[in-house]
Amino acid sequence: MENSNPILDGRQVLEIGDIMAILPHRYPFLLIDRIVEVERKKRIVAIKNVTINEAFFQGHFPDYPIMPGALVVESIAQAGGTLLLPEVPDRHNKLMVFTGIERAKFRRPVVPGDQLRIEINVLNWRSRAVRMEGRVTVDGQLACEAIVMCQLVPRQREATGPGAAPEMVTQE
């Protein structure tokens, strides 16, 4: 029998407090607001409400505010992390970090007032690495699509010298 997951079991909607109990991200870098669909280990749908109060709009761009594409892709990764981190037994000792982005395409700008619907499908998941396909839509129109690869790494850095990053494992 599959292990149960008290965070996701039987729930289709997760509020911001539930998301913050899973992800380590905080303002201004927490980029999802709600989970509206979950299929454990396979699929998740998140919502991000984009407002003019977002810190990045101050400089991107002051007279024509557009959400940076890199942050739209980050919202894909955060939605995927919300799906998969609860499945990791010692998740409080781990971080899920990017190891790659493939085929990122941006179809329309994301602007204040938009509501992003972030749909994630898990393509491949191993014990330490995952490959996910993400599609972000606004009012049914495709805004961004990308395949992201992430890996679980220890939250505490190894004592290998100043500024040493966790060792990454490449996928075969």
Catalytic residues, by residue number, are 60
Amino acid at 153: V
Distance between CA atoms of 145 and 79, rounded to whole angstroms?
Answer: 13
Q: Provide the Cα torsion 29, 30, 32, 34; round to 10°.
A: -160
Phi, psi angles (nearest 5°) of residue 22 = -100, -50
Tell which residue, 137, 172, 152, 139, has the closest CA to residue 45: 137
Give the number of C-alpha atoms closer than 13 A to the C-alpha of residue 68, restricted to the C-beta side. 14
